Amino acid sequence: MINENIKDTCVLIKESDGILIGAGAGLTAAAGLNYSDREAFARVFPAWKRRGFLRQYDLVGYRNWTPLEMWGYWATQLNYVYYSQSTNPLYQKLRSLIGDRNCFVMTSNVDELFHKNGFDTQRIYSPQGSYGKIQCTIPCCQQAWDMKPFFDRLNNALDPVEQIIVDEAAVPVCPNCGGTMFPNVRVDGSMVDGHFAPQRERLLRWLEDMNGKKLLLLDLGSGYNTPAVIRLPMERITDSFANSALIRVNMEHADVPRQIAHKSICIKGDISEFIEQTSQGGT
Ligand SMILES: [Zn+2]
């Protein structure tokens, strides 16, 4: 990691009137929850490894399972990436790096780690949903319910060895239509997302207020899986604000389009190392 880049980052953070953090899967991976991590998968999902899967990514969008199998996997997954996570050292470090500066977060991650690590919940936009909510699969209505009571029933009926649900009564059923349910996260066009509109409105108002001021965009780990969610909006905002600067930290894709290159710092490297070094002031 180039020291000049870290020093420039420190100056930009210090001098900015507002910081927009754009977070992608790379940030959560750096925080220890990597959906491609085979070792962690073997440890947390041993029964699913026996069934031939190697990584959590292998089960994203998977359809060929019974409800008892599906919810057995999901109960284990929700416990691992959501309910057992509270404070996370990397997010805590990022939180103290930002301090009490004027900040808004836009994240494609659905684990709510920003919420859990002290960021202002009124200033987080998470358009890909949250593991904390559940919806009708169809959906029959625009409602998302709190996941916890559904999760508790699942967890009580989870066979810890086979990692499947052993009681059909524990399988979530839509309170409105009696149909199947799914976590309130975006996997296709059926996600219920009306309840995220107020977050989006707050972000747009915050950006309006930044007009003419020094805006720093901190892009942490947004890649090309779903570039329209974080990566491209971060570039567009950088381009359209006169007094903006973009810092993009990414293990593989730290590049930016040519028209914003003059106001961007591209750091190809590990996010935790970046946060650590920036916290120390680039010294
Ligand atoms: Zn329904």
| Cα 264 from Cα 89, distance rounded (Å) | 27
Establish whether 136 is an annotated binding residue: yes
Residue 282, pLDDT score:
61
Q: Say if residue 2's pLDDT is above 80.
A: no
Place of tokens 């009124």: 122
Q: Which residues pair with 158 in a beta bridge?
A: 165
| Dihedral pair phi/psi, residue 11, rounded to 5° | -65, -45
| Cα 172 from Cα 227, distance rounded (Å) | 32
Domains of the chain in sequence order? 1-33+88-127+193-283 (3.40.50.1220), 35-84+130-192 (3.30.1600)
Residue 187: pLDDT band (50, 70, 90) is: confident
Q: Say if residue 1's pLDDT is above 80.
A: no
Give me 71's structure tokens.
């919810």
156 versus 4: the higher-pLDDT residue is 156
| Cα 91 from Cα 220, distance rounded (Å) | 12
- What is the CA(56)–ligand 1 centre distance, in A? 27
Residue 204, pLDDT score:
98
Percent of the chain with pLDDT over 90: 93
Among 265, 276, 203, 213, residue whose Cα is nearest residue 244: 213
Among 81, 149, 86, 136, residue whose Cα is nearest residue 109: 81
Average pLDDT rounded to a whole number, residues 172-191: 95
- What is the CA(174)–ligand 1 centre distance, in A? 5
- What is the CA(80)–ligand 1 centre distance, in A? 27
Establish whether 174 is an annotated binding residue: yes
Output the CA angle 113-74-188, nearest 5 degrees: 80
pLDDT digits (tens, 9 = 90+) for 38-66: 999 999 999 999 999 999 999 988 989 99
- What is the CA(137)–ligand 1 centre distance, in A? 7
pLDDT digits (tens, 9 = 90+) for 208-256: 999 999 999 999 999 888 899 999 999 999 999 999 999 999 999 999 9
Give me 72's structure tokens.
């057995």
Q: Which residues pair with 268 in a beta bridge?
A: 250
Give me 57's structure tokens.
């990514």
Q: What's the gap between Cα 250 and its chain centre?
A: 15
Cite the beta strand spans of 36-128 per DSSP E.
103-107, 124-125
Q: Say if residue 283's pLDDT is above 80.
A: no
Report DSSP state, residue 135: E
- What is the CA(66)–ligand 1 centre distance, in A? 19
171 versus 187: the higher-pLDDT residue is 171
Establish whether 103 is an annotated binding residue: no
| Cα 283 from Cα 277, distance rounded (Å) | 8
Mean residue pLDDT across the chain: 95
- What is the CA(83)–ligand 1 centre distance, in A? 25
- CB burial readout 16-29, b (16+ within 10 A) else e: bebbbbbbbbbbbb
- What is the CA(61)–ligand 1 centre distance, in A? 20
Average pLDDT rounded to a whole number, residues 161-185: 98
How far CA 131 is from CA of 158, 227, 260, in Å, comes to 18, 21, 34
Percent of the chain with pLDDT over 70: 99
Assign 23 to helix, strand or coil.
strand
| Cα 126 from Cα 146, distance rounded (Å) | 16
Establish whether 140 is an annotated binding residue: no
Residue 281: pLDDT band (50, 70, 90) is: confident
| Cα 71 from Cα 63, distance rounded (Å) | 12
**Is the distance from CB of 254 to CB of 5 less than 8 angstroms?**
no
Average pLDDT rounded to a whole number, residues 149-170: 98
- What is the CA(138)–ligand 1 centre distance, in A? 6
| Cα 236 from Cα 179, distance rounded (Å) | 40
Residue 54, pLDDT score:
97
- What is the CA(221)–ligand 1 centre distance, in A? 35
Question: Going by C-beta distance under 8 Å and a sequence separation of 6 or more, which residues neighbour residue 187?
Answer: 60, 61
- What is the CA(177)–ligand 1 centre distance, in A? 4
